[in-house]
Amino acid sequence: MTSPFVTSAWLAERLSDPNIVVVDGSWHMPNSARNAQAEYLDGHIPGAVFFDIDAIADTDTNLPHMLPSPADFARAVGALGISQDMTIVVYDEVGLFSAPRVWWTFRAFGARDVRILEGGGPQWRAERRPIETGLVTRRPAEFRAHLNPAAAAAFETVAARSRDSASQIIDARPAPRFHAEAPEPRAGLRPGHIPGSLNVPVSLLTEHGMLKSPEALRNLFAERGVDLARPIITSCGSGITAVTLALALEQAGAENVAVYDGSWAEWGARPDAEVES
């Protein structure tokens, strides 16, 4: 299996390669008091374009950063100068938080080669590698987008799998939120979790801003009752860390993993969705 990660040394040697595009996929929780786009303008990896997770999304729904249509995605990333045949290297300024979401989105729409920068912006900066400021613009490109229907699971699918147990549903939210012991950061959502789901908090998957080894991940999932041979649907608060969980599952050996795009932002708001606490 080809690693989804590249090192900062690998990228530093290839920054001038016209077939490689660097993407700042930073995004922060609504209550974090951080502005990812402003931080990008203040300093980013040279040549990096900014992928706005909240803008390159389905703007016809009140759910946060849902996958856009193929046409809308193609238009947005084409304007950033990205084609489906480039090597796309995504990073974020936490280390490994929102970059997997952008990695997954590009893959879902048919990008040929998408990687994640190991350690992200913090690792790059710690190594005193070059930083530039301001907005980067690239020559527009054509991205031929085709959505892989197996990448994302809709509410109806998750509700059915919750009842029939055909798939394991795994939630990446912190344990207090999963067990309804802490409030959700978004207003109007009921506390609790999808009936029958398991909890593997995303904080358990990483060390020092990097994903744990496949062996460590396999041990963690076994301890949590996850069967890697079964179909799996991942969930979280709004579809960001659910992808980090999906990435970890793939690295551990799972082959059938889908992301519940609406996640708890949808499930916790729907009166017809059953909730366990």
**Which 8-state DSSP code applies to residue 45?**
S
3-state SS class at 119? coil
**Judging by beta carbons within 10 Å of its beta carbon (0-12, 13-18, 19+), is residue 42 exposed, middle or buried?**
exposed
Q: What is the pLDDT of residue 30?
A: 83
- Residue corresponding to tokens 């994903």: 211
How confident is the prediction along the chain (277 residues), in pLDDT tens digits per residue? 689 999 999 999 999 999 999 999 999 988 888 999 999 999 999 999 999 999 999 999 999 999 999 999 999 999 999 999 999 999 999 999 999 999 999 999 999 999 999 999 999 999 999 999 999 999 999 999 999 999 999 999 999 999 998 999 999 999 999 999 999 999 999 999 999 999 999 999 999 889 999 999 999 999 999 999 999 999 999 999 999 999 999 999 999 999 999 999 999 999 999 999 8
Q: What is the pLDDT of residue 1?
A: 64
- Rounded to 5 degrees, φ, ψ at 203 are -65, -20
Model pTM? Answer: 0.97
* Summary mean pLDDT of the chain: 97
- Rounded to 5 degrees, φ, ψ at 221 are -65, -35
Residues classed as catalytic: 236
pLDDT in tens, 133-192: 999 999 999 999 999 999 999 999 999 999 998 999 999 999 999 999 999 999 999 999
The structure tokens listed for 167 are 């798939």
